[in-house]
Structure 1
Amino acid sequence: MEAELSRTAKITSSLIFGGFVLLYVHLYNVLVLKQKRVRSKLQSQGVGGPSPSFLYGNIPEMKKIHLHLRSTTMTSLTDHQHHHHGDGSGGALSHDWPSTVFPHIARWRNEYGPIFMYSRGNIQNLCITDPEMVKEVSLCTSLNLGKPSFLSKERGPLLGQGILSSNGQYWAHQRKITAPEFYLDKVKGMVNLMVESTATMIQSWEAKIENGGGNAEIKVDEDEEFVSRCDLKSLFWKQLCPRGRDILKAQNSSNCHVQGKHWCSWLKACTKQK
């Protein structure tokens, strides 16, 4: 009896030990070996990049670059305010926003060239900043060249199966529907609408600045989102029914804010006229 219990305990411990070994081998293969194989394939083609750390990849280095940029920006802004104190001049204006939003991309591009690789955790990213290369890739219509799989797997509840995250037949079907709306002849017809909306937005900014005595706080992202929604609604209603212009005028008088029930009633009226 004791011999059987001892043998059962040995078998159980052996199975547990073997399971841990297999789990370790699997994790090592996924987290280390697989990433090394991907990086070695890119390195063999002359693509370099910063060395990643275990598990986190280049995320710690990205945080350091962002913190360094933030500290230097605050220091330069403070020095500028002290230097121009009392003269009424505002802060320095810079249009180099990519280097501010993605400072790690700007630094690595200077170090490793226009094409380099970096990793976010165990996900390897190939960054292409060469315009000609981007153009060549964007012209490829092969379904094999799709979006990263983590967009649909990890961020599926957020992004769904839209054209930004879908692959294969999903992507082909949605592109077939949306592509005709961006043909050159239709895009040319949208220019006047976009110019008119943008001019109105700029005029509102100028009015805010004048009312504020030369200084004003402008939330650019909210205003651009507002203008984009108005442009989309304008295009939709103009194509949907003859009453589109009247609806737009009524909507613009209330700052482009329409309640859901009014939207549904207008939509039903337009579809009936179709």
Structure 2
Amino acid sequence: MPSLFLLFPFFLGFSLLLYLYTKLWLNPKIIREKLRCQGISGPKPSLFVGNILQMKRLQKEAKKQPRDELSGAHFVGDYTSVIFPHLILWRKAYGQLFLYSIGTTPILHITEPDLVKAVSHCTVFELGRPELIIKARKSLFGEKGIISGGSRKNI
């Protein structure tokens, strides 16, 4: 009987490790491989943090450079080269469609207008909206607008 008491915590710990491995590493890796087979690539993520360290490094480097060198923009209101230099550099390196990760969440970055239109019109109910984003940006957008899906969507 004492062996059962020792076996249960071991089984519980092993199950927890297997769950965390699947959730944090294996599922994002499977998604990346499926997209890579379709020709969609991107920067390689680190374990647990994804591409966040690369983003921070690129933002520090971008602050040292003039904005014109990074984005090629010649107007004052171009904030994307300052706030999102990683997206501009990755778009140059990987094309208009690439995959990057924030934490363990893979994000598909699309800048082709026709593809954005097709995705937003055809699959809006299938994609849904992550609860974390909705809660974080509710004060900015409210319950309607860009981040809402379904019957509350305003065009």
Q: What TM-score does the superposition give when structure 2 sets the normalisation length?
A: 0.80
1:64 to 57, 65, 68: 57
Distance 1:45 1:150 in 2: 29
One-letter code aligned to 2:24: L
Distance 2:128 2:34 in 1: 19
1:106 to 80, 83, 88: 88
5+ unaligned residues in a row in structure 2: which ranges? 67-73
Partner of 1:134: 116
1:162 to 121, 143, 146: 143
User: 1:140 Cα shift?
Assistant: 3.0
Secondary structure of the structure 2 residue equivalent to 1:143? helix
Instruction: Give the structure, 1 or 2, with the largest relative contact order (CA under 8 Å, sep 6 or more).
Output: 2
User: 1:38 Cα shift?
Assistant: 0.8
User: 1:17 Cα shift?
Assistant: 0.9
Partner of 2:98: 116
Relative to its length, the structure with more helix (as a share) is 1
One-letter code aligned to 1:97: Y
User: 1:149 Cα shift?
Assistant: 4.9
Task: Please give the per-residue CA displacement for 1:133-178, whole angstroms capped at 9, x wherever unaligned.
Answer: 22333333752243345434xx37x6288234444xxx21x23xx4
One-letter code aligned to 1:100: V
1:42 to 35, 38, 42: 35
Equivalence map 1:82-93=2 (5 Å): none
5+ unaligned residues in a row in structure 1: which ranges? 1-6, 74-91, 180-274
Task: Please give the per-residue CA displacement for 1:102-124, whole angstroms capped at 9, x wherever unaligned.
Answer: 10000000000000000000111
Q: What TM-score does the superposition give when structure 1 sets the normalisation length?
A: 0.48
Secondary structure of the structure 2 residue equivalent to 1:30? helix
Distance 2:123 2:12 in 1: 45
One-letter code aligned to 1:33: L
Distance 1:21 1:40 in 2: 26
CA separation of 1:148 and 1:18: change in aligned 2, threshold 3 A: same
Which is higher, the Rg of structure 1 or of structure 2? 1
Q: Percent identity?
A: 33
Distance 1:124 1:106 in 2: 18
Distance 1:45 1:51 in 2: 16
Distance 1:147 1:136 in 2: 17
C-alpha RMSD over aligned residues = 2.7
1:33 aligns with 2:26: yes
